[in-house]
Structure 1
Amino acid sequence: MNEIGRTSALARELASAPWRTSTRSQTSNCVEVAPLRTGPAAVALRDSKDRGGPVLLFNRAGWLGFITGAKNGQFDLN
């Protein structure tokens, strides 16, 4: 599959993905996560205030590393 085909397939999958918002999200600080079924990315993450904006894509190992880092406070701004 060429690059355009991959991009189109990914765009279709992101549009129909089962996006979920964390129950811990506040009204102004929400992210949404969606599992992906095809391609090298396993999980997508986006800002719920900008659903048409940028999306972060993670493979399985990257997602598990991100979750572990978040739980350990690696990304805390304090």
Structure 2
Amino acid sequence: MAETAEEIEARKTRERDELYALDISGAEWESAPGTEGHEERVEIAHLPGGAVAMRSSLDPGTVLRYTEAEWRAFVLGARDGEFDLESPPGGEGPAPR
């Protein structure tokens, strides 16, 4: 039996609340290979159940948390080019897709 829209919303709210209730004070943060500790970078920490926390090295107090399904969708989308940047007018910035 398929979930109703209300059931889906309630499940997502419960998952989010549980994820943000986790104590991550002892989390081990990782960043891309080759980055130095003083460089601006994105850091991630693996959480229970396949969830992931993500933060900026410049603002380690602000942490976003993603369920396993959300993180998988993001990674697959990034691999597929969904988040590639377009060049702004004037030709500066990343190359267009």
Q: CA RMSD in A?
A: 2.6
SS in 2 for 1:64: helix
Question: Residue 74 of structure 1 aligns to which amino acid in structure 2?
Answer: E
Structure 1 residue runs of 4+, over 4 Å off?
6-9
Name the CA distance, whole Å, in 1 between partners of 2:57 and 2:77.
21
Q: Does 1:67 pair with 2:67?
A: no
Q: Which residue does 1:31 correspond to in 2?
A: 42
Identity %: 39
User: Are the aligned partners of 1:25 and 1:31 in contact in 2 as well (CA < 8 Å)?
Assistant: no
Give the CA deviation at 1:14.
2.0
Return the index of the structure with the highest Cα Rg.
Answer: 2
Query: Superposition pairs for residues 36-47 of structure 1, below 5 Å?
Result: 36-37=47-48, 42-47=51-56
Normalised to the residue count of structure 1, the TM-score between the two structures is: 0.67
The runs of 5 or more residues in structure 2 that have no matched partner are: 1-17, 87-97
Give the CA deviation at 1:25.
5.1
The runs of 5 or more residues in structure 1 that have no matched partner are: 1-5
Equivalenced residues, count: 67
Name the CA distance, whole Å, in 2 between partners of 1:18 and 1:52.
14
User: Are the aligned partners of 1:45 and 1:57 in contact in 2 as well (CA < 8 Å)?
Assistant: yes
Instruction: For CA contacts below 8 A with separation 6 or more, give which structure has more relative contact order.
Output: 1
Which of 10, 20, 32 aligns to 1:22? It is: 32
Question: Residue 35 of structure 1 aligns to which amino acid in structure 2?
Answer: H
Give the CA deviation at 1:37.
2.2
Give the CA deviation at 1:57.
1.1
